[in-house]
Amino acid sequence: MASEREVFGLSGPLHLTNIDWNNAHHRRSVAASLVEGVYILERDRQEKREGSQALAPPWWEFFHFKLVRKLIDDVDFCIFGAIYEYKPPSSHCNESIVSIDGNPRYVIAFRGTITKPDSFTRDFELDIHIMRNGLHQTSRFEIGMQAVRNMVATVGASNVWLAGHSLGAAMAMLAGKTMAKMGNFLEAFLFNPPYLSAPIERIKDKKVKHGIRIAGSVITAGLALAARGKNPRSRSEDPFSALSAWTPSLCVNPADHLCSEYIGYFEHRKKMEEIGAGAIERLATQHSLGGLFMSVVGKGVEAAEPLHLLPSANLTVNLSPSNDFKQAHGIHQWWRPDPNLKCSLYKFK
């Protein structure tokens, strides 16, 4: 039997009968619903729900989207993503030509981990790759990345949105960063993106928390300078600056330990700029402590760039209380009609 959370008529954003594409909450809610559509596509496949029994279509059809293509993993053949095309009513047909009112022409969405036997093994394998900064080496990411490249080449970066939740947010973030380094800046909605680090944000004492972050920045900056000394070529390479013009929308919950560190990550950089230590933080923010340590002592092996390193973001924090981790990490929270959200724009170079 299907869960109520899978049925759009029971748990979807039915209140959004008229979408204002210039309204941030509307845009966020639609993006989250399209990601949920990918989850339900895979659940329909697993439960063999077809035709009128399928539960996924309302998650995109309610907002006048059409499913163009399913993205299939080449290992377990699960559905991990989808490409949607915006097909508004004929009275708004001009919107389907150019995104003049803030609406997308296409949305490429990626789901997160599903804890069901048919897909969990492969999803968990991808989760491990994220921990090891190796997501870019997986065939699933390459399938998704190729879909993004092809769509951008066909319709242009301004007409493509990226969206993802949890593991899917990591996929969308990595795809967005890859495109940004090539000068293509895609609108992106990243829900509960994983940030793997010590849980500093859970420390209640602000002075202690700030002190730990300052110490980490100084050590990281020092190791970065040491790594540059061993690899002179890296002095002229600054892919981080290419990312500064890309401002993805990150949606996080303080009660979700998998993504809450983004809150402190951006707040700390702002504070370091305010106290005149911006140069230290600019250097530290471009690197991870673990990756730099391996670069310095790891026989010249250059570590992969950690996924969470971003110079800019539109950070949305859900301050509504959560009953448990499942609720704090869930995607349903992002289309609630009465959210208690704090939005902050961070743009650093």
Q: How does pLDDT run across 209-240, given as a tens digit for each residue?
A: 666 666 666 676 666 666 665 555 554 455 67
The answer to whether 95 and 106 are in contact (CB under 8 A) is no
What is the per-residue pLDDT for 307?
81
Is 98 inside a domain boundary?
Answer: no
Residue among 292, 332, 322, 294 at smallest CA distance from 309: 292
CATH at 217:
3.40.50
Is 181 inside a domain boundary?
Answer: yes
Is 97 inside a domain boundary?
Answer: no
Domain residues for the domain of 37 are 4-88+107-229+238-346
Residue 123: burial class (beta carbons within 10 Å; 0-12, 13-18, 19+): buried
Q: How does pLDDT run across 42-58, given as a tens digit for each residue?
A: 999 999 999 999 999 99
Res 294 pLDDT > 70: no
HSE of 9, CA atoms in CB hemisphere, 13 A: 2
SS3 percent helix, strand, coil of the chain, rounded to 5, is: 50, 15, 35
Res 299 pLDDT > 50: no
The answer to whether 35 and 334 are in contact (CB under 8 A) is no
Distance from C-alpha of 109 to C-alpha of 86, rounded to nearest angstrom: 13
Is 29 inside a domain boundary?
Answer: yes
Residue among 223, 225, 196 at smallest CA distance from 293: 223
Q: How does pLDDT run across 276-285, given as a tens digit for each residue?
A: 766 666 666 6
- How many domains does one find in the chain? 1
Res 162 pLDDT > 50: yes
Is 300 inside a domain boundary?
Answer: yes
Res 70 pLDDT > 90: yes
pLDDT tier for residue 99 given thresholds of 50, 70 and 90: very low
What is the per-residue pLDDT for 241?
76
- The pTM score is 0.85
What secondary structure does DSSP assign to 216-230, as a single string? Answer: HHHHHHHHHHHHHHH
